[in-house]
């Protein structure tokens, strides 16, 4: 097994607020790991550390065996190898769907325009964004379409790993399915993914491991059948029972 991402004893405080308190895990090539947990427990901070948007106080992160938290690392180069899909899409509003996907290819990867366009179209098609939508601006797209464009933008860069930070929580309920379907397809195709989500149906189906975070720590982890259906920790249980109430999936074991 090839380890793509290794996070080792990560700590981060904002003033007196200890947000991450010793987070350790790794993601192997082709795996999808899902992080669940109440809001304010450091999930976004963790992803932002991996993408080098936040500097941890302590601990190390490795991408393909290379320590990316070491001083002097080329941050732009690291980021070009890690896709990031945000809750609020983060698309450029003045660029079309196609231009949004092309941007990283031309600007970061230095691809010639024609080649970038070809790669961008291929990525858009792979998430079900068809030709009629390529020249639309984000404001002309639904939330589900915008998020699929954002996923295409990540895919097009041919990253080693894609991080998802609650990719469906800003969407209307009827649009969530189309985004989860795309993510499931990506996982099946062997993309390495780290996903923060409350979609436990997705986690049950797709995750190789579920990690429950609370208070800046991973306090329970394991296969989804264990963590989601038979949580051992009292806090995991309490959190999941609230999620079950919201989702009413009807598959409770």
Ligand X SMILES: Nc1ncnc2c1ncn2[C@@H]1O[C@H](COP(=O)(O)OP(=O)(O)O)[C@@H](O)[C@H]1O
Interacting residues toward ligand X by CB under 6 A:
14, 17, 19, 39-45
How far does CA 67 lie from the centroid of its chain?
20
Closest CB to ligand X among residues 149, 150:
150
The DSSP code sequence of 29-49 is TT-EEEEE--TTSSHHHHHHH
Closest CB to ligand X among residues 89, 134:
89
The binder of 17, among ligand X, Mg ion, none, by C-beta within 5 to 8 A per type, is: ligand X
CB of 170 to ligand X, least distance (A): 14
Which tokens belong to 53?
Answer: 């948007």
Residue nearest to Mg ion (CB): 44
* Residue 214 main-chain phi, psi, to 5 deg: -150, 135
Helix (H, G, I), strand (E, B) or coil at 131: helix
Closest CB to ligand X among residues 56, 138:
56
CB of 142 to ligand X, least distance (A): 25
CB of 39 to Mg ion, least distance (A): 6
The binder of 42, among Mg ion, ligand X, none, by C-beta within 5 to 8 A per type, is: ligand X
The binder of 130, among Mg ion, ligand X, none, by C-beta within 5 to 8 A per type, is: none
CB of 176 to ligand X, least distance (A): 19
The binder of 2, among ligand X, Mg ion, none, by C-beta within 5 to 8 A per type, is: none
The binder of 90, among Mg ion, ligand X, none, by C-beta within 5 to 8 A per type, is: none
Contacts of 92 (CB under 8 A, 6+ apart): 99, 100, 103, 138
Closest CB to Mg ion among residues 19, 129:
19
Which tokens belong to 47?
Answer: 């992803």
Integer Cα distance of 77 and 58 in angstroms: 22
Q: ∠ CA 50-54-55 to the nearest 5 degrees?
A: 90
Positions touching Mg ion (CB under 5 A) are: 43-44
Helix (H, G, I), strand (E, B) or coil at 94: coil
Closest CB to ligand X among residues 136, 221:
221
Integer Cα distance of 102 and 117 in angstroms: 6
CB of 118 to ligand X, least distance (A): 36
Residue (of 78, 86, 75) closest to 153 by Cα position:
86
Closest CB to Mg ion among residues 156, 196:
196
Integer Cα distance of 52 and 58 in angstroms: 13
Closest CB to Mg ion among residues 37, 104:
37
CA distances from 71 to 12, 24, 25 (A): 17, 20, 22
CB of 16 to ligand X, least distance (A): 11
CB of 243 to ligand X, least distance (A): 14
């Amino acid at each position: 097994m090839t380890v793509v991402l290794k996070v080792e004893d990560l700590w981060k405080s904002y003033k007196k607020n200890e947000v991450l308190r010793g987070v350790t895990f790794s993601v192997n090539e082709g795996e999808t790991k899902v992080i669940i947990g109440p809001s304010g427990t450091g999930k976004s901070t963790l992803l932002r550390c991996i993408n080098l948007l936040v500097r941890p106080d302590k601990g190390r992160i490795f991408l393909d065996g290379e320590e990316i938290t070491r001083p002097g690392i080329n941050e732009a180069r690291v980021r070009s190898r890690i896709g990031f899909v945000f809750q609020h899409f983060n698309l450029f509003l003045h660029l079309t769907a196609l231009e949004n996907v092309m941007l990283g290819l031309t600007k970061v990867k230095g691809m010639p325009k024609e080649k970038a366009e070809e790669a961008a179209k291929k990525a858009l098609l792979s998430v079900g964004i068809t030709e009629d939508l390529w020249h639309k601006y984000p404001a002309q797209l639904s939330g589900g379409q915008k998020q699929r464009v954002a996923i295409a933008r990540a895919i097009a860069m041919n990253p080693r790993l894609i991080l998802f930070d609650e990719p469906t929580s800003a969407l209307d309920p009827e649009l969530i399915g189309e985004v989860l379907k795309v993510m499931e397809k990506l996982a099946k195709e062997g993309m390495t993914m780290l996903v923060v989500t409350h979609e436990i149906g997705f986690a049950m189906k797709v995750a190789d491991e579920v990690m429950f975070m609370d208070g800046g720590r991973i306090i329970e982890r394991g296969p989804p059948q264990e963590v989601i259906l038979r949580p051992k920790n009292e806090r995991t249980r309490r959190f999941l029972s609230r999620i079950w109430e919201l989702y009413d999936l009807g598959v409770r074991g």
